[in-house]
Amino acid sequence: MLEVKNLSVSIGDREILKDLNLTVADGEVAAIMGPNGSGKSTLSYVIAGKPDYEVTSGEVLLDGENVLDLSPDERAAKGLFLAFQYPVEIPGVTTMTFLKATLNAIRRQRGEPELSIPDFMKRVNASAAKLDIKSDLLKRAVNVGFSGGEKKRMDIFQMAFLEPRFAILDETDSGLDIDALRIVADGVNALRTKTRSFLVITHYQRLLEYIVPDKVHVMAGGRIVRSGGKELALELEKNGYRDYVEAEVA
Amino acid sequence: MSIQIIPTATAAENALADAFREAKASLPGTASVAEQRAQAFEAFARAGLPNRRIEAWHYTDLRNLMRRALPLAPIPSQAQIAKLSAEALKLPSPRLVLVDGVFAPELSGPLPAGVTVTSLAAALAQGEPALIEGLAAAWAEADDAMVSLNAALMQDGLVIDVAPGTTLEAPLHIVYATVASEPAARFSRSLVRVGTGATFRLNEMSLGQGGRVGQTNNVLIFEVGDDANVAHSLSLTGTEPASLRLETFLVKIGAKAQFDSFALITGAGLVRRQIYKLFNGADAKASLRGVSLLRGREHADTTLFVRHAATGCEGRQNFRYILDDEAVGVFQGKIVVDRIAQKTDGRMLAKALVLSDEATMNSRPELEIFADDVACGHGATIGGLSEDQLFYLQSRGLPANEAEALLLEAFAAELVDEIGDEDLIAAYRADVAAWLAGRAGA
Complex ipTM, two decimals?
A: 0.96
Which residue of A93, A98, A154 is the best one to mutate when testing the B interface, meaning the one whose CB has the most B CBs within 10 A?
A: A93
From A73, A91, A106, residue closest to B410, measured CB to CB: A91
Predicted confidence (pLDDT) at residue B212 exceeds the cutoff of 90: no
What is the model's pLDDT at position A240? 82
Same domain, B355 and B415: no
Same domain, B395 and B380: no
What percent of chain A shows pLDDT beyond 70? Answer: 98
What is the model's pLDDT at position B414? 94
Q: Assess A50–B contact: CB distance below 8 Å, yes or no.
A: yes
Cis peptide before B110 (omega within 30 of 0): yes
- Residue B135 counted as domain residue: yes
What is the model's pLDDT at position B109? 86
Q: Assess B370–A contact: CB distance below 8 Å, yes or no.
A: no
Q: Which of B273, B214, B266 is nearest to B244 (CA)?
A: B214
- Residue B15 counted as domain residue: no
Q: Assess A145–B contact: CB distance below 8 Å, yes or no.
A: no
Same domain, B250 and B367: yes
What is the model's pLDDT at position B342? 97
Cβ contact A73–B409 (<8 Å): no
Mean pLDDT for all residues in chain A: 92
Would you say B139 and B150 are in contact if contact means Cβ atoms under 8 Å apart?
Answer: yes
Mean pLDDT for all residues in chain B: 93
What is the model's pLDDT at position A2? 96
Same domain, B338 and B359: yes
Predicted confidence (pLDDT) at residue B128 exceeds the cutoff of 60: yes
Q: Which pTM value belongs to this model?
A: 0.91
Same domain, B372 and B323: yes
Banded pLDDT at A249 (limits 50, 70, 90): low
Would you say B398 and B368 are in contact if contact means Cβ atoms under 8 Å apart?
Answer: no
- Residue B1 counted as domain residue: no
Of A136-140, A232-236, B32-36, B238-242, the poorest mean pLDDT is in B238-242
Banded pLDDT at A248 (limits 50, 70, 90): low
Q: Which domains does chain A have, with CATH numbers?
A: 2-249 (3.40.50.300)
Cβ contact B398–A48 (<8 Å): no
Q: What is the tens place of the pLDDT at every residue in A16-68?
A: 999 999 999 999 999 999 988 899 999 999 999 999 899 999 999 999 999 99
Give dist(CA A23, CA B209) in Å, integer.
64
Same domain, B153 and B274: yes
Predicted confidence (pLDDT) at residue B442 exceeds the cutoff of 50: no
Q: How far is B416 from chain A (nearest CA, A)?
A: 10
What percent of chain B shows pLDDT beyond 70? Answer: 97
Would you say B432 and B264 are in contact if contact means Cβ atoms under 8 Å apart?
Answer: yes
Of A68-82, B115-129, B230-244, B250-264, the poorest mean pLDDT is in B230-244
Note down the domain range covering B363: 31-384
Predicted confidence (pLDDT) at residue B26 exceeds the cutoff of 60: yes
- Other C-beta atoms within 10 Å of B251: how many? 22
Report, as an integer, the average pLDDT of A180-208.
Answer: 91
Report, as an integer, the average pLDDT of B27-42.
Answer: 93
Q: Which of B170, B188, B189 is nearest to B114 (CA)?
A: B170
Residues in a beta bridge with A62: A2, A65
Q: Is B56 exposed, middle or buried (0-12, 13-18, 19+ CB in 10 A)?
A: middle
Q: How far is A66 from chain B (nearest CA, A)?
A: 17
Same domain, B413 and B377: no
From A50, A81, A101, residue closest to B406, measured CB to CB: A101
What is the model's pLDDT at position A237? 82
Same domain, B306 and B188: yes
Q: What is the tens place of the pLDDT at every residue in B72-116?
A: 999 999 999 999 988 888 899 999 999 988 999 999 989 999 999
Q: What is the tens place of the pLDDT at every residue in B149-177?
A: 999 999 999 999 999 999 998 999 999 99
Which residue of B393, B409, B428, B436 is the best one to mutate when testing the A interface, meaning the one whose CB has the most A CBs within 10 A?
A: B393
- Residue B57 counted as domain residue: yes
Would you say B24 and B38 are in contact if contact means Cβ atoms under 8 Å apart?
Answer: yes
- Residue B131 counted as domain residue: yes
Report, as an integer, the average pLDDT of A188-213.
Answer: 93
Banded pLDDT at B240 (limits 50, 70, 90): confident
Of A153-167, B211-225, B420-434, the poorest mean pLDDT is in B211-225
From B386, B402, B414, residue closest to A101, measured CB to CB: B402
What is the model's pLDDT at position A222? 94
From B391, B397, B409, residue closest to A106, measured CB to CB: B397
What is the model's pLDDT at position B377? 94
Same domain, B280 and B150: yes
Q: Which residue has the higher pLDDT, B392 or B238?
A: B392
Cβ contact A92–B414 (<8 Å): yes
Cβ contact A101–B413 (<8 Å): no
Which residue of A70, A73, A142 is the best one to mutate when testing the B interface, meaning the one whose CB has the most B CBs within 10 A?
A: A73
Give dist(CA B106, CA B98) in Å, integer.
10
Q: At residue B419, what are phi and psi to the nearest 5 degrees?
A: -60, -35
Which residue of B395, B406, B407, B411 is the best one to mutate when testing the A interface, meaning the one whose CB has the most A CBs within 10 A?
A: B395
What is the model's pLDDT at position B440? 60
From A84, A102, A141, residue closest to B398, measured CB to CB: A102
Report, as an integer, the average pLDDT of B397-404.
Answer: 95
Report, as an integer, the average pLDDT of B248-266.
Answer: 97
What percent of chain B shows pLDDT beyond 90? Answer: 83
From A75, A81, A88, residue closest to B389, measured CB to CB: A88
Would you say B353 and B322 are in contact if contact means Cβ atoms under 8 Å apart?
Answer: yes
Same domain, B378 and B397: no
Same domain, B404 and B313: no
What is the model's pLDDT at position B182? 87
Q: What is the tens place of the pLDDT at every residue in B280-311?
A: 999 999 999 999 999 999 999 999 999 999 99
Same domain, B144 and B224: yes
Q: What is the tens place of the pLDDT at every residue in A137-157?
A: 899 999 999 988 889 999 999
- Residue B239 counted as domain residue: yes
- Residue B229 counted as domain residue: yes
What is the model's pLDDT at position B111? 93
Q: Assess A93–B contact: CB distance below 8 Å, yes or no.
A: yes
- Other C-beta atoms within 10 Å of B240: how many? 15
For chain B, the maximum distance between any two Cα atoms, rounded to a whole number of angstroms, is 75
Residues in a beta bridge with B380: B350
- Other C-beta atoms within 10 Å of A242: how many? 9
SS3 A107: helix
Dihedral of the alpha carbons of B381, B386, B389, B395, in degrees to the nearest 10: 180
Predicted confidence (pLDDT) at residue B237 exceeds the cutoff of 90: no
Q: Which residue has the higher pLDDT, B136 or B374?
A: B374
For chain A, the maximum distance between any two Cα atoms, rounded to a whole number of angstroms, is 60
Q: Assess B428–A contact: CB distance below 8 Å, yes or no.
A: no
What is the model's pLDDT at position A243? 76
Q: Which helix (H) or strand (E) holds A67?
A: none
Residues of B in contact with A49 (CB under 8 A): 391, 394-395
Structural domain count, chain B: 2
- Residue B13 counted as domain residue: no
What is the model's pLDDT at position B208? 64
Residues of A in contact with B410 (CB under 8 A): 90-93, 141
Q: What size, in residues, is chain A? A: 250
**DSSP string of B277-296?**
EEE-STT-EEEEEEEEEE-T
CA B401 to chain CA mean position, Å:
32
Give dist(CA A91, CA B320) in Å, integer.
14
Predicted confidence (pLDDT) at residue B137 exceeds the cutoff of 80: no
Cis peptide before B399 (omega within 30 of 0): no
Give dist(CA B184, CA B331) in Å, integer.
28
